[in-house]
Structure 1
Amino acid sequence: MHSQTATVHGITMRWLEQGEGLPVVLLHGIPTSPALWRHVMPKLEGVRCLAFEMVGYGDSIPAGAGQDLSISHQAEYLAQWMDHLGIERAVLVGHDLGGGVAQIAAVRRPELCAGLLLTNAIGYDSWPIPSVKALNAGGPLISHLPGAAGKQILRVLMHRGHDNKDMASEALEEHWQPYARHGGAASLIRQIEALDVHDTLAIQDALPGLAIPARIVWGAADPFQKIEYGERFARDLSAPLHRIEGGLHFTPEDHPGILAEQILRLVDEVRHAAAPL
């Protein structure tokens, strides 16, 4: 995996990249970064794998200063970045907020989306979750907390969202580092303040009309994004639903093998759909 940067419409954008072939774009959520996919990417052979960093997240936190960090605008940044790289069509894979970004991009720019995989993704009216709403309400105070207190907030989220507790500890150390380097809890609050459920409500009725190969992979015991939303995505996208029984929220970290397998199955479907008769 190689870290890459490019200036797109005056904004420095970052991503991890490996491999060659059909582009697969991996989209993270909150409070993570492209590192969310660190155990999935090595298993994705035979594709060009790009893990995009949302503007204002990870080590792109500084680039987000003064920018709109809403999910709606993240979809626009994603499309601009793909255009800049000359990626005409890609399989979009989204977790958490990244799933919302993928949905919006697929609806707005259907020519860019060759296939769609959602795993424990936001959508419809499923978000922001209660704990995030509470953080938003306490934003002015939380923004001034010292680093140790900010890290504790992430610790709670990680341990509630991982069924593999060793991975929860690894993930905490991985995902806290960008916040520690770039503003601590204040940067997390800025991300939270940009969240608006209307971004996904605005496109929900368009999902059944996408008519693209799709797959849903869901940690069935997720306390944040309930399995009922995974079932709804499966119906609206006419997609198979792979349930990870006992799985919680952070499926790319707890179950990278399952995610990689399902992504590659979707890639095969996309290739088959594009093959001449």
Structure 2
Amino acid sequence: MNGLGLHLHEDLLDGEPIRWLEHGEGAHVVLVHGIPTSPRLWRHVMPLVSGRSLALEMAGYGSSIPDGEGRDLGLSAQADRLLRWLDLVGAESPVLVGHDLGGGVAQIAAARAPGRFSGIVLTNAVCYDSWPIPSVKAMQRAAPVLRYLPETALYPSLVQLIHRGHDDRARALESIGVHWQHYVTHGAARSLMRQVSSLRVEDTIAVADQLPSLGLPARVVWGEADQFQKVEYGRRLADDLGTELQPIPGGKHFTPEDHPEVIAAAINELIGTGPAREGDPGGR
């Protein structure tokens, strides 16, 4: 447990370790992070959610970086693990929330089993052909030599990426400390090499035509100034999911850290503890 009241849990899923953070009680909410983060991406969101929040740690990320060796870390495989994990933790009809890569995982999981979820919230998520972003493509090309770099060599790049993705400088500095520690602890170069080498845009393209027929209440919240996942993709997602885009003026990529109250409000709307936005068709 930490100062925010978040509890770290660990269990075995099909004989392999799996970890997640929990907070609160009540209606289930499942949150999925992206790269280069971990479940702690949601540390300021979860205390504001009126339900039992469970933030999954994807295989090969965060404290689970060592467990990623030899495993498929692609979004399709991560979505399969998420669906099996729901049974392990007894998450019944949760609201599914995803950011960045976790948003892609959420789309795939919802497309494969829409009846397992009561709603979906996506914020600055990868989707369609919006990814990998240029810096990740560069790392993919450099993957064969990343393993030979000293661990500190990637620190400036990660710092720059996180600063570019935040509109709140204080939160950016906090974020660097939170997320870099896992990389430096477990080997930054090797960890990033495994993560980026597994990313395939085909995973989100494969489910794109299923999004309009999910039939799930949806919220799409987007930082309008995101340089990594452009707001035009957010508008397309919102249209396909039958809702209206909720923009965050001046917001950048890491919305769960910079604007946790906005993300939590969207989640609470779908679990019935907050008022629906006027004129929003996404609560169908």
- With over 3 angstroms needed to count, the CA separation of the structure-2 counterparts of 1:84 and 1:28, relative to structure 1, is same
User: What secondary structure does 1:138 align onto?
Assistant: helix
Instruction: Tell me how far 1:52 sits from its aligned partner.
Output: 0.4
Identify which of 131, 150, 155 aligns with 1:151.
155
8 Å Cα contact 1:16-1:52 kept in structure 2: yes
Name the counterpart of 2:36.
31
Q: String of CA shifts for 1:189-218, please: whole Å, max 9, x gaps.
A: 210000000000000000000011000000
User: Which letter does structure 2 place at the counterpart of 1:122?
Assistant: V
Q: Could you tell me which runs of 5 or more consecutive residues in structure 1 were left unpaired when the two chains were aligned.
A: 273-277
What is the alpha-carbon distance in structure 2 between the residues aligned to residue 217 and residue 132 of structure 1? Answer: 23
Matched, 1:202 2:206: yes
User: Which letter does structure 2 place at the counterpart of 1:28?
Assistant: H
User: Which letter does structure 2 place at the counterpart of 1:7?
Assistant: L
Q: String of CA shifts for 1:90-137, please: whole Å, max 9, x gaps.
A: 100000000000000001011211100000000000000111101111
What is the alpha-carbon distance in structure 1 between the residues aligned to residue 92 and residue 24 of structure 2? Answer: 17
Tell me the TM-score normalized by structure 1: 0.95
Matched, 1:113 2:117: yes
Matches within 5 A, 1:55-70: 55-70=59-74
Matches within 5 A, 1:26-175: 26-45=31-50, 47-175=51-179
User: Which letter does structure 2 place at the counterpart of 1:4?
Assistant: H
What is the alpha-carbon distance in structure 1 between the residues aligned to residue 41 and residue 212 of structure 2? Answer: 28
What is the alpha-carbon distance in structure 2 between the residues aligned to residue 58 and residue 204 of structure 1? Answer: 28
What is the alpha-carbon distance in structure 1 between the residues aligned to residue 100 and residue 212 of structure 2? Answer: 20
8 Å Cα contact 1:114-1:270 kept in structure 2: no
Name the counterpart of 1:275.
none
- With over 3 angstroms needed to count, the CA separation of the structure-2 counterparts of 1:79 and 1:271, relative to structure 1, is farther
8 Å Cα contact 1:115-1:270 kept in structure 2: no
Identify which of 234, 240, 248 aligns with 1:236.
240
Instruction: Tell me how far 1:240 sits from its aligned partner.
Output: 2.4
User: Which letter does structure 2 place at the counterpart of 1:40?
Assistant: V
8 Å Cα contact 2:102-2:125 kept in structure 1: yes
8 Å Cα contact 1:34-1:53 kept in structure 2: yes
User: What secondary structure does 1:15 align onto?
Assistant: strand
User: Which letter does structure 2 place at the counterpart of 1:93?
Assistant: V
8 Å Cα contact 2:269-2:275 kept in structure 1: no
What is the alpha-carbon distance in structure 2 between the residues aligned to residue 267 and residue 133 of structure 1? Answer: 37
User: What secondary structure does 1:225 align onto?
Assistant: coil
8 Å Cα contact 1:115-1:213 kept in structure 2: yes
What is the alpha-carbon distance in structure 1 between the residues aligned to residue 94 and residue 49 of structure 2? Answer: 14
User: What secondary structure does 1:119 align onto?
Assistant: strand
Tell me the TM-score normalized by structure 2: 0.92
Instruction: Tell me how far 1:231 sits from its aligned partner.
Output: 0.2
Which deviates the most, 99-108 or 132-141?
132-141
- With over 3 angstroms needed to count, the CA separation of the structure-2 counterparts of 1:219 and 1:271, relative to structure 1, is closer
User: What secondary structure does 2:271 align onto?
Assistant: helix
User: What secondary structure does 1:69 align onto?
Assistant: coil
What is the alpha-carbon distance in structure 2 between the residues aligned to residue 174 and residue 12 of structure 1? Answer: 22
Matched, 1:214 2:218: yes
Instruction: Tell me how far 1:143 sits from its aligned partner.
Output: 2.5
Aligned-pair identity in percent equals 55
Name the counterpart of 1:182.
186
User: What secondary structure does 2:272 align onto?
Assistant: helix
